[in-house]
Structures are given as structure tokens and as C-alpha cells.
Amino acid sequence: MADRLVCRDCHRVLEVDDGEQCPSCGSTSMTEDWAGYVVVAHPEDSRIAEEMGISEPGRYALKVR
């Protein structure tokens, strides 16, 4: 998935053409060094979302370096 970046702060998986700022948290700290991801559709009902601190639906990296 080399065409994707991940926000180091909120772990949101972004397309390269999304820009240089995370639309979720506003961070400009992005990386291409990440592994695995989870898709959260209903964060209010998800234990994984709760553990990861996710409050918005979307794709999130499991490990960010």
C-alpha cells in the first residue's frame, strides 16, 4: 500500500492525494511506514475503536512507526 499515508497522531489511513494535512485531527505528521489496518464503520459500537481511541468511521493503521 505504497500509495497511502498514515497520520502519526490519529493513525488514519489517507490517500496520497488527500493533501499534507490529516482531515480528522489536522496533524501534518504523516508516514509511509505502517503495518495492518482496520476499517471501523460504527465506532460507537466497536471495542477496537474504543481501545484505539477512534471516534470517526474510517480506515486506521494498527501499527505506525
Binding residue positions: 7, 10, 22, 25
Binding residues for Zn(2+): 7, 10, 22, 25
In DSSP terms, 10 is beta-bridged to none
Burial of 35 (0-12, 13-18, 19+ CB in 10 A): exposed
Cβ atoms of 12 and 6 closer than 8 Å: yes
